[in-house]
Amino acid sequence: MDAPDTNVSAWTRTAGVFRQGVRPLVIVLLVVAAVVAAHVALDLDAQAARLRSFVQNQGAVAPPVFIALTAVGIMLLVPAPIAIGMGSVAFGQLGGALYSIGGITAGAGLAFLLGRYVLRDLGTRLQGSRLPILRALASQRGPLPVIALRFAFPFAPGLDYAVGATGISLPHFLEGTLVGLIPRTFALSFFFDILTKSDWLASVASVPALLCVLLMPLIRVAGIVLLVRLLARYNARRAEGVIP
């Protein structure tokens, strides 16, 4: 595996984060727009209540089925906010967030294994512009590189497959994925739950809802800063000859 070009600075390598930074926001805004349209065209809070009643009637089978479907969706590159939104409607804020995290983590782990042993070229095709970052991060132990990736590149298609083709271990990948998903997933689950209520217009303007919206870019900035620090450490270790 070729090492990244050391002449490229850590900031240059992460410049693509800013160029592609609107994508997660666009996904969330599209889901929000769909919910607003549903409020206009349908009695959405009543529909959500019917869905929750249906899910409750399924008993203990509903959560594992949702987790399995979410995992399959992640492997098929379905945007994670869709699963989080559906989980929030079906299981409420807390249950929806927990089951979404379980399904997304499971799907990411399976995609990681496929990327390592079966579909190595898929991740390269989908994440070609980020390969220098992934290769540099793969030289560093622990889950921190994966946490940084989750924060900085939310819902990036094919990222799990691409990371699977690097030297990052599966346990560190799963641990980093789990930790990296928690803040954004809980914030989105809370926000989507608000959108399905009859008083959603007033609720969206509430302080908790605004904090959830503010949390999204803050998480991304934290991921970018962490990536820059990790890549700077990688460059320093290469300069010292610690790593080839």
Task: Write the pLDDT tens digit of every residue in 112-125.
Answer: 999 999 887 777 77
Contacts of 162 (CB under 8 A, 6+ apart): 115, 123, 124, 126, 127, 130, 131, 134
% of the chain with per-residue pLDDT over 90: 28
Q: Could you tell me the CA-to-CA distances from 153 to 8, 41, 88, 163, 244 in Å, in that order?
A: 20, 34, 22, 12, 27
| C-alpha–C-alpha distance, residues 162 and 51, integer Å | 36
User: What is the pLDDT confidence band of residue 208, given thresholds at 50, 70 and 90?
Assistant: confident
Joined tokens for residue 100: 């979404």
Q: Tell the residue number behind the tokens 């790593």, with chain if given.
A: 243
Task: Write the pLDDT tens digit of every residue in 31-59.
Answer: 667 666 766 666 666 677 777 778 878 88
Highest mean pLDDT (candidates 29-33, 96-100, 164-168, 205-209): 96-100
